[in-house]
Amino acid sequence: MSKTMNNQNQMNQLLSAIFASDSILLFAHISPDGDTLGSAIALKLRLESINKQVVLILDGDIPTYLDFLPSDGIVKPENAPDPSLFDLAIAVDVSCSDRMGGGEAIFKRTKMTAQIDHHQTNDGYAQINFIDGQAPATAVLIYRMFMDQDQRPTLQESICLYTALSTDTGNFIYESTNAECFEMMAMLMCSGLPLAKYSRILFRQKEHAFVRLLGKALPSLHMFADGVGAGLRLSQSDMEQVDAKAGHTDGLIDYAIDVTGVKVAYFVRETPEGRVKASLRAIAPYRVDEAAMQFGGGGHRLAAGCGLDMTLDEAQTAIEKALIEAYRSTEV
């Protein structure tokens, strides 16, 4: 109960700061995803509708799969306005302040700082910290602010909030998915959310280079440890043959972890610099974060990654050994 009360106080503080401000800087995180962009843009649209001057600062580019989001008024840190002219800075979905990249210094120079986030590791780096580590997406906290003000989102805001919520919950299948997600979805549907259209864009549509890369990766499927492990690999020449960029490998690992009976999986690829990047996945109660840490990487229990200074063959052998160990050391 105290947690809920605490959250309510944090939200009230944030709302008071917003109402007391004429001009507000928003900040998204580097390597922007659906939650940071969808949540920040929905908040930006809402603040503009109550006549606030708002600029969203983003260190990086909007990924192609999110290019339908309204991107007016998003600027790079090097083009940011003078922060001393703004009353309030709000970081959105930024787990630690350096994840603002070049935006961090601008954030820190604003008169008042605040943040809205759902990462459990967040250390509360702002003056006002509206954080709920149990929330499945930052978008849920934005939704609570709308509810608190008895505001139903506009169509554009609903598209942004849907993008944020659905991407951070893996299209509503992660453990974190809860009843509040569906209460929020009911509200977004009432606002006219074109669900079929946007779910197709976000979860079905694939770039041509991705499908061609998948064709290269699938023949490499390697089952190990009596079928509890599976791995996929791509060489730099595979990447070049289909003209793929690094981002096109996102999601390939699902084809390994999704094989029936598999509990731990990996995807390894050569980088142009001659190193190897590895992505690791596990199905609970198994975990791969500790395996990633052995190689100087990190991440979450079920999804982690690392880089290795080895050949692709050596990396594959080393990762399989670590994953077998991770599997065997888990008590079920």
Helices (H), the chain: 2-19, 34-49, 104-108, 138-148, 155-168, 179-190, 195-199, 208-217, 236-241, 254-257, 289-294, 312-328
Write each residue from 193 to 232 as x if it is in contact with Mn ion (CB under 5 A), else as -, in one continuous string: ----------------------------------------
CB of 274 to Mn ion, least distance (A): 33
Q: Compare residues 40 and 232 and give the one whose CB is closer to Mn ion.
A: 40
**Can residue 35 be called a binding residue for Mn ion (CB under 5 A)?**
yes
Give the nearest residue (CB) to Mn ion: 35
Q: Compare residues 132 and 168 and give the one whose CB is closer to Mn ion.
A: 168
**Stretch of 64-72, 160-168, 252-260, 295-303 contacting Mn ion, by CB under 5 A:** 160-168
**Stretch of 88-96, 104-112, 291-299, 310-318 contacting Mn ion, by CB under 5 A:** 88-96
CB of 176 to Mn ion, least distance (A): 10
- Among the listed residues 24, 44, 93, 114, the single contact to Mn ion using CB under 5 A: 93
**Can residue 132 be called a binding residue for Mn ion (CB under 5 A)?**
no
List of long-range contacts for 249-258, beta carbons under 8 Å, 24+ apart: 249/213, 249/279, 251/210, 252/213, 252/214, 252/217, 253/279, 253/281, 254/281, 255/214, 255/217, 255/218, 255/221, 256/221, 256/230, 256/231, 256/232, 256/281, 257/230, 257/281, 257/282, 257/283
**Stretch of 15-23, 92-100, 143-151, 239-247 contacting Mn ion, by CB under 5 A:** 92-100
Query: What is the four-CA torsion angle of 314, 318, 323, 326, rounded to 10 degrees?
Result: 180
Distance CA(89)–CA(107), nearest Å, equals: 6
CB of 219 to Mn ion, least distance (A): 35
Write each residue from 299 to 318 as x if it is in contact with Mn ion (CB under 5 A), else as -, in one continuous string: --------------------
**Stretch of 32-40, 185-193, 267-275, 277-285 contacting Mn ion, by CB under 5 A:** 32-40
CB of 180 to Mn ion, least distance (A): 15
CB of 29 to Mn ion, least distance (A): 9
CB of 257 to Mn ion, least distance (A): 21
Specify whether the CB–CB gap between 126 and 63 falls below 8 A. no
CB of 193 to Mn ion, least distance (A): 19
List of long-range contacts for 271-274, beta carbons under 8 Å, 24+ apart: 271/236, 271/246, 271/307, 272/236, 274/236
Write each residue from 248 to 287 as x if it is in contact with Mn ion (CB under 5 A), else as -, in one continuous string: ----------------------------------------
Distance CA(59)–CA(91), nearest Å, equals: 12
**Can residue 168 be called a binding residue for Mn ion (CB under 5 A)?**
yes
Q: Which residue has the tokens 């805001």?
A: 157
Q: How many CB atoms lie within 10 A of CB 238?
A: 18
Q: Compare residues 168 and 270 and give the one whose CB is closer to Mn ion.
A: 168
Taking phi over 0 as left and psi of -120 to 50 as alpha, with beta for the rest, 150 belongs to: left
Q: Compare residues 25 and 164 and give the one whose CB is closer to Mn ion.
A: 164
Q: Which residues contact Mn ion (rule: CB under 5 A)?
A: 35, 93, 138, 168
